[in-house]
Amino acid sequence: MARSLIKDGLYFSVGLAAASKDTVEKIVNRIVREGLLSVTEGRKLAKDVLKASNKAQKQLTGAVGKQIQNAAEQTPFATKADLEKLRKQLMGKK
């Protein structure tokens, strides 16, 4: 049960992060047309959803960036700084 809730929450976060302004506006316009919200309420809803979407995008980007950084730190590959240091050492020996 808890695993399902976590999975659903993650899918929601990714979906929210991917929500474009155009998509949000289309959905909100449909809700307004169907009379479920007033125009004013629809505008507020769109603004709130887009704000949450931007926040989710930043959080997701940060989390992915951290994972990439962690993976890069654990790999045996040389970094740009390592290569530059080696280049300087080789140039100094000539």
- Domains of the chain, residue spans: 2-92
Spatial distance between the Cα atoms of 55 and 74, rounded to a whole number of angstroms: 29
User: What is the CA 21 to chain-centroid distance, rounded?
Assistant: 15
pLDDT digits (tens, 9 = 90+) for 52-65: 888 888 887 888 88
Q: At 11, which amino acid appears? A: Y
Best CA proximity match to 17, nearest among 65, 68, 52: 52
Residue pLDDT, tens place only, 21-74: 888 888 889 989 999 989 999 999 889 988 888 888 888 788 888 888 888 788
Does residue 87 surpass a pLDDT of 90?
yes
Instruction: Report the pLDDT value the prediction gives residue 10, as an integer from 0 to 100.
Output: 62
Q: Which pLDDT score, from 0 to 100, does residue 22 have?
A: 83
**Nearest CA to 72 among 42, 23, 81?**
81
pTM: 0.55
